[in-house]
Amino acid sequence: MKKRTVIVFFLFAIALIALSRCGEISKTKTLKLAHGLDVSHPVHKGMAFMAERVAEKSGGRLKIEIYPSQQLGTERQCLELLQIGSLAMTKVSAAVMENFAPNIQVLSLPYIFRDKTHSHKVLDGEIGQKLLVQGEKYWLRGLTYFDAGPRSFYTKDRPIRTPDDLKGLKIRVQESVTAINLVRALGASPTPISWGELYTALQQGVVDGAENNPPSFYTSRHYEVCKYYSLNEHTSVPDILTIGTVAWNRLTTQEQEWLQEAASEATIYQRKLWAEAEQHALEEVKKAGVEVIYPDKAPFAEMTKGLLEEYKDRHEMYQLIQEIQTVK
C-alpha cells in the first residue's frame, strides 16, 4: 500500500507541475509590432533588440512579434489598427503623428535642432517625454524616439545646390502639413505618396525627387533612380515607437515597466547603429554613382525660418519652439 501511495503521490505531483506550466504558458502575452522598413534598417534592428530585452526581462511571459516591410499595411493603416486594438505597436514618423498630436509638429520644423546632441537632449528630456503621450486621446501612446537622422533632398535629373534648384520640381513628402509647407516654402511642389509606392513613382516620373535620411535612401534602393543627394539637412524628424492605448491598458503595471525599460534600452542601441548606418549608406550610394552634395545650409534655413514665425499666434506651440531653442 505504501508503494502504491508513493506512486499516486508522484503522479499527482507531476500533474500539478504540468498544470502549473500550462498556466504559465497561458499567461504569455504577445504584442504584434508592424512597420514599413526593411529588416536591414537600423530602426528595425532596434525594435528587434527591444523584443529580445522584453523576453529576457519577462522570462518569456511578454513577447513581441515583428512584421516588417509593410506586411500589415502602411504607416497610417498600422496606426488605425492600433486605435482599434487589432495591432499593438508600430514605428511611425513624428511627421505622421502630428495628425493625432498637433504639438508634435514642432519636431518637424526646419532647423529646429542645432545638431544631433541638441536633438537627443530635447527628445530625452521633459519636452520630448510630454510629447510622447499627447496622442492618447486618439488612442495612441509613444514609448520612445528612434533616431531617424537629418532629412535631405535627393533628385533624378538635377542636383540641388541652392533653394532655387528646387523650383518647379515635384518632391515626395510624408502626409504631414509641416513637411508640405516646408517644401512649398522652398519653391517646390510637395506631393504626398506612401513610402511603399515611392520607388515606382520616382521611376515613372510621378515625382522628381524626395527627401529622407541616408540609410532610408540606401535601403530603399532609391539611389538606383535618383543620382543626386544634397545634404542640406532641413529637418531631423525622429521616428516614434507607438503603442495603441488598447494594447497598453491590457498590460499589467509590471508588463508596462518591462516594455518601457526595453524600449529605452533599444533607443541607446539604435542610436549607435544609426551613426554607423549613416556613414555606410553614404559610402555605398557614392559607389553606386550618386553625387553627394554638401550645400551651404544657410540659404535653406533663411527661406524656411518664416514657418517658425507663423506659430506666434499659437501660444503653446510658439512657447515649445522657444523652449527647444534654449535647451543647452
Q: How much is the pLDDT for 224? A: 98
> By residue range, what is the domain housing residue 118?
28-147+237-279
**Residue 177 shares a structural domain with residue 319:** yes
Whether 13 is in a domain gets the answer no
Q: How much is the pLDDT for 22? A: 43
**Residue 260 shares a structural domain with residue 293:** no
**Residue 89 shares a structural domain with residue 178:** no
**Residue 103 shares a structural domain with residue 194:** no
Question: Cα-Cα-Cα-Cα dihedral of 70, 152, 283, 198, to 10°?
Answer: 30
Distance CA 81, CA 140 (A): 11
**Residue 70 shares a structural domain with residue 131:** yes
**Residue 185 shares a structural domain with residue 219:** yes
For 127-153, the pLDDT digits (tens) are: 999 999 999 999 999 999 999 999 999
- For 43, the grid coordinates are 530602426
DSSP letter string, 270-287: HHHHHHHHHHHHHHHHHH
Q: How much is the pLDDT for 166? A: 98
The chain-wide mean pLDDT, for the chain, equals 91
**Residue 140 shares a structural domain with residue 73:** yes
At a CB cut-off of 8 Å and minimum separation 6, what does 295 contact? 160, 161, 162, 230, 231, 232
CB 206 within 8 A of CB 191: yes
**pLDDT tier for residue 197 given thresholds of 50, 70 and 90:** very high
Q: CATH number of the domain that 124 lies in? A: 3.40.190.170
Distance CA 142, CA 133 (A): 6
Whether 305 is in a domain gets the answer yes
Q: How much is the pLDDT for 38? A: 87
For 8-24, the pLDDT digits (tens) are: 344 344 444 443 444 44
pTM summary value: 0.83
Distance CA 99, CA 28 (A): 34
**Residue 68 shares a structural domain with residue 133:** yes
Q: How much is the pLDDT for 21? A: 44
Question: By percentage, how much of the chain surpasses pLDDT 90?
Answer: 83
DSSP letter string, 77-109: HHHHHHHHTS--EEEEEHHHHTTTSGGGGGGGS
For 73-91, the pLDDT digits (tens) are: 988 899 999 999 999 999 9
**Residue 216 shares a structural domain with residue 312:** yes
**Residue 122 shares a structural domain with residue 156:** no
**How many domains would you assign to the chain?**
2
Whether 22 is in a domain gets the answer no
Whether 270 is in a domain gets the answer yes
**pLDDT tier for residue 92 given thresholds of 50, 70 and 90:** very high
Whether 318 is in a domain gets the answer yes
CB 98 within 8 A of CB 106: no
Whether 14 is in a domain gets the answer no
Whether 86 is in a domain gets the answer yes
Whether 21 is in a domain gets the answer no
Q: How much is the pLDDT for 290? A: 98
**Residue 167 shares a structural domain with residue 186:** yes
Name the maximum alpha-carbon separation found in the chain: 98
**Residue 285 shares a structural domain with residue 211:** yes
Distance CA 288, CA 134 (A): 42
